[in-house]
Chain A
Amino acid sequence: EPEVTQTPSHQVTQMGQEVILRCVPISNHLYFYWYRQILGQKVEFLVSFYNNEISEKSEIFDDQFSVERPDGSNFTLKIRSTKLEDSAMYFCASRDGLSNQPQHFGDGTRLSIL
């Protein structure tokens, strides 16, 4: 069964450094999402992406964050200057273009900011 894959599984970065989290959505899916989950807290929506542009974003997704689909397969989340509070699990999700279809999630990247 096709799945969403995320790399790396764990990323350790110094505060203030840039980090790029990578995702390969399910082939032929058209909608892409990033969520995050701080340890012990709820899964929170960050951003949705469709037709090569951001569709929706939450208050969390400030100017330090950006997303890109650089080619036909990858979907990336960049944090420009990381802060301690960016430490979390980051989940990528995708869904196909048909109505009423579920989002499918990857297993996430654990981001640890030192």
Chain B
Amino acid sequence: DAKTTQPTSMDCAEGRAANLPCNHSTISGNEYVYWYRQIHSQGPQYIIHGLKNNETNEMASLIITEDRKSSTLILPHATLRDTAVYYCIVRLDSGNTPLVFGKGTRLSVIA
């Protein structure tokens, strides 16, 4: 089972920041937090990941709390194309370890 808890759905106005929360209270010290998204039935798309420091790339920012029990994915200026299911996944840093997907958060960006 997934080790994360996410809201089922969220709405965000186009152009505004989308802040997607994730709880992972049982995360262990060598587990990373990964974020993926899935648009319609396309393959999951990697967004960002981190261990304990905040991370930023061209798609998003990841804020991890100091105790690492929760994190927030931030899409700074959401567009209609960001409408998707967003998955927060904790994963051991080991080559063979699979990703365990939960139900994710369905983000709807509204014009």
A contact residues vs B (CB 8 Å cutoff): 4, 30-31, 33, 35, 37, 42-45, 48, 50, 55-56, 58, 89, 91, 93, 95, 97, 99-100, 102-108, 110
Contacts and interface: CB of A to CB of B under 8 A. Distances in A.
A107 B43 CA distance: 4
Give the top 10 A-B pairs by smallest Cβ distance, nearest first. A105-B43, A45-B98, A55-B96, A43-B101, A102-B46, A107-B43, A105-B44, A48-B96, A100-B93, A91-B43
Contacts of A56: 96-98
Given A55-B95, A91-B43, 17 more contacts: A30-B95, A35-B98, A44-B101, A45-B98, A45-B99, A48-B97, A50-B96, A55-B96, A56-B96, A56-B97, A56-B98, A58-B98, A89-B41, A99-B93, A102-B46, A103-B99, A108-B43
A48, A97, A103, A107 — which one has the most chain B CB atoms within 10 A of its CB? A103
Contact of B41 (A33, A50, A104, A108): A108
Q: Give the interface size bracket for B toward A.
A: 20 to 34
A55 B97 CA distance: 9
Nearest to A58: B98
B51 to A, nearest CB: 8
B95 to A, nearest CB: 5
Interface in B3-50: 32, 34, 38, 41-46, 49
A35 to B, nearest CB: 8
Interface in B71-103: 87, 93, 95-103
Contacts of B49: 100, 102
Given A42-B101, A43-B101, A100-B32, A50 B45 contact: no
A35 B99 CA distance: 9
Contact of A42 (B41, B42, B103): B103
A107 B42 contact: yes
